[in-house]
Structure 1
Amino acid sequence: MRLSLEQIISYQTEGYLIVPDVLDGHDLQPVIDELAREIDGRARRLFAEGKLKALYEKEPFERRYACLYAECPEIGKGLDIRSYLGEAMFRLLGHGKLVDVVECLLGSELSCNPIQHVRAKVPSKLAADEPDYFQNVPWHQDCAVTSPDSEASEIITFWMPLVDATAETGCMEVMPRVFKQGYVNHRAEGGTTIDPDKLPEAKPVLAECPKGGLVIMNKYTPHRGIGNRSDIVRWSVDLRYHKTGAPSGRSSQPSFPVRSASEPESVLRDAGEWRRLWQAVKDDQGRQLHRV
């Protein structure tokens, strides 16, 4: 799909845009099935180790992870795109429908940024032992986890729920128009968060988004996640895109072209090569990825 002129102006004015119905069930089901297999494999390993009493195989995708987590939170340890590097997820990163939208905002030379995550926010009643910022993600700007050399890069966030993201299931709130102020100092304690003394004064907007829709954000748009008051897991995929050749903010991690009018042969289409690029990255878990 292509964005309308009104949508592009709204994004450029407000610093965010909610676009429903970008992807349909046919587009998302391979990713959901792949995640379900990943969770099933983790569950079976934990069951074999005696850490789970049941596999909850009859529970639907939106519920199974919550049931497993309630019995053994270890099920979610390290769960992220980089931890399993699935083929269906790779296809999603460069999906034509997503890239069409990016092209409306950044032009035709586009790369998928290495900041890419899948998140499973369990019901808050199951997360009593988690740090509060796991449920109530504090106010932050996405540029706060990029290196300063990417300050001039236009890096756009695409946040995509795999279930309906509502006030009940734990959607985001955003501060409209504040992106025009640029970067605000952050702290890394208790999750990456804007320094409370620097928090902009703006009325937040609830960014509810249906499954298959997108919340698109400028890298300077302050936003936060609210708690999941429902009985299901709020699954979401969190991606970034930038112009090919511009600093990604994560130079030690792999970006890859997803569209190129000038060099179409440069577009990465091989999931195996994508895996090799990530597997070649040294463990950077202990490296500081937060700006202050």
Structure 2
Amino acid sequence: MSGIYYPDTFTIVPPQSGFKKPGQLPPEQIQQYFDEGYTVVRDFFTPEELQPCRDAIADMVDQLAKKLHEAGKITNLHDDAGLFQRLTKIEEEFPGANILLFKHQKIPKAFRDLWCSERLLNLIEQLIGPDIAGHPVWNMRTKTPNSIALDVPWHQDCGYFSEESYNHLIPTAWVPFLDTDETNGCLQMARYGHRLGKVAAHTCCHSDTWFIDLAEEEMEKTLGVDIKNDLVTVPVPYGGFLLFNNMIPHRSLPNRSNDVRWSIDLRWQSPHENYGFYGIAEGILFRSSEQERVEPDWEKFLAVDRKEVWQKKYFKQVIETDQFDTTVTGPWIGRWHVTNENKHSQAFTKIMKLHR
């Protein structure tokens, strides 16, 4: 944990152009983002804009089902089930299918188009200025009903990155693909927890997962969070998204509904700053103040799969893992004190011993 803090970076609104572009938020909402650490952007996308993403998710689930079926892991493709039920049925036959989808996902074109869409980049420009890159860490969340695998505990996103990321803003858009509330796993925010510009001490690994964990007592002590008054449940309707920064503590609630809660995390930062991702992957340039128009180099970006690079870098002396293995490891595990040993932390320890 760094002893240098950057409160101004996360609390002071940067200079604004004064000319509102399509998609940009009113000044009071930008102010809220910097004051509270997050804001809900409603009715931003039309159903027509988001449908290609839903279709891409359905295709990813279909590919996973066929892969499991061909290997004899499931007996039914469940192709009569819809987008919000099929993965649950697959999961009933092969527990951990949701983890496989999380672990082996490749970013489809529909997600890429959303990530660098003109209106969305106009909004991000209000937060970090005209030079914008996509951060290498994006995720599709496969939150099946009543599964703890994707119940993410309290954490700061910076807790997953190296200290080089602590001094700059990394905005995240959490985009759900259905209406979300406290019944199906919307997020909770610890508002104001970003104001000191600090990264608190996390532990690892939460329950049976690979997630880091931030205790509420630590949030109070180190970040000044008022647990009784500052924890806010944040429903997000379909077509909107939750916009937050990399210092604000947050978590997701359990999915107690009958539908899969699909969502994606998309992140941006200045291309002039360190991505804080352990040298595993770089970002992708979307906008530059020195160029009138930037064509994102998707070929270069897609040539580097961060999960594969991590595997190749640290699994050099390890036999190729089972393609249906539901263990997840990553460099963040080594950053924090391991207070709960499970298969994920044990795999990480084994890897690092062999690597040394």
**Matched AA of 2:200:** V
**Aligned match for 1:159, one of 174, 177, 181:** 174
**Aligned match for 1:288, one of 328, 331, 354:** 331
- Note the 1:100-249 alignment, pairs <5 A: 100-124=122-146, 127=147, 132=148, 134-181=149-196, 182-190=198-206, 191-200=211-220, 201-202=226-227, 203=229, 204-249=231-276
Q: What does the per-residue CA deviation read over 1:33-76, in whole Å, with 9 as the maximum and x for residues that have no partner? A: 11211111111222233322322222221111112112222433
Does the 8 A contact of 2:284 with 2:298 survive in 1? Answer: no
In 2, distance between residues paired with 1:56 and 1:287? 32
Structure 2: unaligned runs, 5 residues or longer: 1-22, 221-225, 314-327, 337-356
**Matched AA of 1:39:** V
Q: 2:17 matched to which residue of 1? A: none
Q: What does the per-residue CA deviation read over 1:107-143, in whole Å, with 9 as the maximum and x for residues that have no partner? A: 110011011000110111xx3xxxx4x3542111111
In 2, distance between residues paired with 1:176 and 1:98? 23
Matched, 1:20 2:36: no
Structure 1: unaligned runs, 5 residues or longer: none
Does the 8 A contact of 2:64 with 2:101 survive in 1? Answer: no
Does the 8 A contact of 1:172 with 1:206 survive in 2? Answer: yes
Name whichever of 52-61 and 205-214 sits farther off.
52-61
The percent identity for this pair of structures is 27
Residue 244 of structure 1 aligns to a residue whose secondary structure is coil
**Aligned match for 1:253, one of 281, 295, 300:** 281
Residue 101 of structure 1 aligns to a residue whose secondary structure is helix
Residue 141 of structure 2 aligns to a residue whose secondary structure is strand
Shift of 1:215: 0.7
In 2, distance between residues paired with 1:81 and 1:23? 27
**Matched AA of 1:254:** E
**Matched AA of 2:157:** D
In 1, distance between residues paired with 2:151 and 2:57? 24
Name whichever of 227-236 and 32-41 sits farther off.
32-41
Change (3 A) 1:282 1:229: closer
In 1, distance between residues paired with 2:305 and 2:93? 32
**Matched AA of 2:195:** K
Change (3 A) 1:196 1:19: closer
**Matched AA of 2:171:** I
Shift of 1:286: 4.9
Count of aligned pairs: 284
Residue 215 of structure 1 aligns to a residue whose secondary structure is strand
Q: 2:347 matched to which residue of 1? A: none
Change (3 A) 1:79 1:264: farther
- Note the 1:55-66 alignment, pairs <5 A: 55-66=77-88
Q: What does the per-residue CA deviation read over 1:210-258, in whole Å, with 9 as the maximum and x for residues that have no partner? A: 1221111121111111100100000010121111211111142120111
In 2, distance between residues paired with 1:184 and 1:215? 22
Shift of 1:264: 4.0
Does the 8 A contact of 1:14 with 1:177 survive in 2? Answer: yes
Does the 8 A contact of 2:85 with 2:259 survive in 1? Answer: yes
Query: RMSD across aligned C-alpha pairs, in angstroms?
Result: 2.1
Matched, 1:50 2:93: no
Change (3 A) 1:50 1:286: closer
In 2, distance between residues paired with 1:67 and 1:197? 38
Change (3 A) 1:41 1:60: same
Larger Rg: 2
Q: What does the per-residue CA deviation read over 1:130-180, in whole Å, with 9 as the maximum and x for residues that have no partner? A: xx4x35421111110111012112111211111111111110110111211
Q: 2:112 matched to which residue of 1? A: 90
